[in-house]
A and B are shown apart, each in its own frame.
Chain A
Amino acid sequence: MSSFELQAENVSKVFGRRLIFKDVNFSCKNNGIYGISGPNGSGKSTFLKIITGIISPTKGKVIHYFDGKIIESEDLHNYIGFVAPYVILYDEFTAVENIHFFSKIRGINFTQEKLDFLFQHFGIFDRKNDLVKGYSSGMKQRLKFIFALIHSPKILFFDEPTSNLDNSGKEKVYQTVKEESQNNIVIIASNEDSDLAICSSVLELQDYKI
């Protein structure tokens, strides 16, 4: 089995004059489910964006290892799957087109079976050729999981994974999280108790608001 490792050391982030968080340490290895929680505005999403390399920390560093080698930031994106309310898919394309374009841009191949399986798994197979414009927010959320899983990432980041989902959707998500955590790392940022219940360890972000 290949090994993936993430290390965040003394990460601090300041937006203008506002301190979001300070000296946060976080690391995870190989597989498992990790949780991140904290009150609104404590910087959960910011922290996720920092450890995925989308934004850079004010202080501290984040390093990703694959098989003991450091991953360059140019290549990092193909190791990562990301689901979040602020990940937005293209309205003018159908669900399948979205996934196709994204995979082509990533430069990866996937089999038709995998695509069909994922669409079936998340229960939107019947409407896979509809424009995303016409999707409900719950269906968009399901599509985002397909977007995050299609390239078989080594590390998955779920920000509020169960938002907008009905009970069957939530069940699917928990099932997916458990399956993925066998071989890969899953990191969940949420305040839902049911989301955090499946995590093996939870990082509490402090609130720096005065």
Chain B
Amino acid sequence: MIWKIVLFLLIAFVSIAGITFPIVAKPEHWYEFPLIMGLGENAKIIFFHVPTAWLTVIAFLMSTVYSIKYLRNKDLVDDIKAHSAAQLGMVFCILATITGAVWAKFAWGSYWSWDPRQTSIFALLLIYGALFALRSAVEVEEKRAALSAVYSIIAFVTVPFFIFIMPRIMRGLHPGSADDTNAGTVVNFKMNGNMQLIFFLSLIGFTILYYWMWYVGYKSMLYKEKLNKQYH
């Protein structure tokens, strides 16, 4: 119970601080954020957009790890864990894509411009979509678990190729990417202490939130399975 209250306070603080703390050219008070050239007020998205993108990746990683575990032990609980992670990953992936696109409209002038990270998140969206399409097309539980586990592993090994090829083909627009001449590397850091603090608090808060959601999701799927078994 206690950690739920802590989580609530953490997320509440991050949300309020992230939105209301003013951005000024020369921060003097502890609650003022520095102005980052070329970003302005837009910079505040970092507290919400980056955690969603981060969780998309974490969920994908977790889903792959549980997929490998499933193929090793053939325990359907691992499949449920992987599936629950993938479901959340899909949700965060959509959130990251939308928040990113809206932000890009104001910062870069268009919703979509195939920046390397936009392309990566798009590829992840496709992978998640394919995974769910595959799951709905296989009836037998064991077969469904095995095939989706295999598919997530195949998808996982393609990710490094994206990381290598993308920056060579497309120009990076994201703050912090190698081609970004405007702001320099944001995370390296035009942020000052308080901004970093809130950024990392937000990251931690969202990660705990994700873990909690994942846990509830997989437990509820497990109970659903058990109930179904009883009435059959």
Contact = CB atoms under 8 A, between A and B. Distances in A.
B232 interface: yes
A17 interface: yes
B141 interface: yes
B131 to A, nearest CB: 20
A107 interface: no
A15 B232 contact: no
A68 interface: no
A177 B130 CA distance: 49
A15 B229 contact: no
Interface in B101-124: none
Contacts of B141: 16
B228 interface: yes
A88 to B, nearest CB: 20
A94 B142 CA distance: 37
A112 B141 CA distance: 46
The residue among A15, A16, A18 with the most chain B CB atoms within 10 A of its own CB is A16
A17 B76 CA distance: 12
A50 to B, nearest CB: 13
Interface in A5-41: 15-18
A72 to B, nearest CB: 19
For chain A, the bracket of interface size reads under 10
Q: Is the interface of B mostly helix, strand, loop or mixed?
A: helix
B16 interface: no
A15 B228 contact: no
Interface in B198-232: 228-229, 232
Contacts of A17: 228-229, 232
A18 B140 CA distance: 11
Nearest to B231: A17
Contacts of B228: 17
Contacts of A15: 140, 142
A60 B225 CA distance: 23
A6 B229 CA distance: 33
Interface string A47-81: 00000000010000000000000000000000000
A16 B142 CA distance: 7
Contacts of B232: 17-18
Given A15-B142, A17-B228, A17-B229, 5 more contacts: A15-B140, A16-B140, A16-B142, A18-B232, A56-B74
Give me the 9 closest cross-chain CB pairs, A-B, nearest first.
A16-B141, A17-B232, A17-B229, A16-B140, A17-B228, A15-B140, A16-B142, A18-B232, A56-B74
